[in-house]
Amino acid sequence: MAINIDNAYDVAVSQFDEAADRLGLSQAMRAILRKPKRELIVNFPVRMDNGDVEMFTGYRVQHNINRGPAKGGIRFSPEVSLDEVRALAMWMTWKCAVVGIPFGGAKGGVLCDPHKLSRSELERLARRYATEISILIGPNSDIPAPDMNTNPQIMAWMMDTFSMHQGYSVPAVITGKPLAIGGSEGRLEATARGIQFVTREAMIDIGMNPEESSVVIQGFGNVGAISARLLYELGCKIVALSDISGGVYNPNGIDVHQAMHYSKEHGALRGLPNTEAVTNAELLTLPCDVLVPAAIENQITGKNVSQIKARLIIEAANGPTTPEADHILNDRGVTIVPDILANAGGVTVSYFEWVQDLQRFFWAEHEINDRLESIMTRAYRAVRNKAQQQETNLRMGAYLLAVARVAEATEIRGVYP
């Protein structure tokens, strides 16, 4: 059956089905793991600055909670849909399982364009959405975090809203918060630092020297920009970067610190000195050793896969490679470190933040980074070993490991009642 790549949930289910076939999962287990456990749709009013009231739609989906409380980000975007949130919740289940942290998968989103909202409108929207989903979230049940177009300040408003309902402060209900109210050292850099660790490990495996490797990064948000800096510091030559305004390219290398400063000053990378402009589509097909898609889903597809020149692809974004492109790249011998492993640094340090909040005992940044490195490198090695044992690629290795762990927890707990 053909997969609709425009529907992220179809893609997520097809990836699960492939792993389920290889694992020989029972009909019952497939039925349970294919479907989200809970789906909440909320429609709520927000008073705008001009006095008008507008209605917004939000979602919170829990995919599976057999290994622990649900965990997953909240995104504010005009593209948010129930199927997208379902897919992201399922990917979170596998992501938590692949790195071995005791969470299940969840995701949330509000259908809006946050760039068109004032700060006060954004705060009212965030607080009202947090109130609407408060029937699901809690430090022992479902712990949200930042995602696309949300940030520590928005998490602070949501944590405060939940705490107001309880009558006392509940820092462990949300992660990705500012340090002043129970956030964790190293959280902002966590996803990118995880990407640095798995990139380093994958380079070792395929005999690539960072100092002789060129890297292209699509996306210059928190993950893309910090990944660029950390890979630059690892010795890689960053030859192209992009944001929503388009890409910049210099085959001789870009000074990432200068690019970050320029982007902050001008609000975009476009016009960065000593670079030529490229489109986001062209960027993916530039000559390079390593390609890091750190933007949105479905960027490497059947249409552009034949032009991809990288030998190593690190999926910093969720679902950037379609199943069709995935198979073609594998046939060509391109190594792909899949999203559920590559970008799991964020949820790993979210887990650390949650543990610190529950204990009211906080760790130093070097402790956070050391623990993150240990978990990410151990997870990469386990995925690599599983892929080699099963004579498959890293994506399937990660899925076989993750799905087996969730299936085991589900089997042991049984079907209630």
Phi, psi of 335 (to 5 degrees): -85, 125
Q: Which residues pair with 138 in a beta bridge?
A: 142
Q: Is the dihedral of CA 21, 376, 368, 214 positive or negative?
A: negative
- What whole-number distance in Å separates Cα of residue 56 and Cα of residue 42? 8
Q: Is the dihedral of CA 112, 118, 119, 124 positive or negative?
A: negative
Could you please report the per-residue DSSP string of 337-405? E-HHHHTTHHHHHHHHHHHHHHHT----HHHHHHHHHHHHHHHHHHHHHHHHHTT--HHHHHHHHHHHH
- What whole-number distance in Å separates Cα of residue 29 and Cα of residue 405? 12
Which amino acid is located at 215 in the chain? V
Q: Contact, 368 vs 194, CB < 8 A?
A: no
Scan for tokens 């690190």, then name that residue: 314
- What whole-number distance in Å separates Cα of residue 393 and Cα of residue 126? 40
Q: Is 107 a catalytic residue?
A: yes
Q: How many CB atoms lie within 10 A of CB 160?
A: 18
Scan for tokens 């933007």, then name that residue: 295
Residue 394 CA, chain-centre distance (Å), reads 17
Q: Burial of 104 by CB count in 10 Å (0-12 exposed, 13-18 middle, 19+ buried)? A: buried
Q: Burial of 291 by CB count in 10 Å (0-12 exposed, 13-18 middle, 19+ buried)? A: buried
Q: Which of 35, 71, 95, 107 is catalytic?
A: 107
- Residues assigned a catalytic role: 107
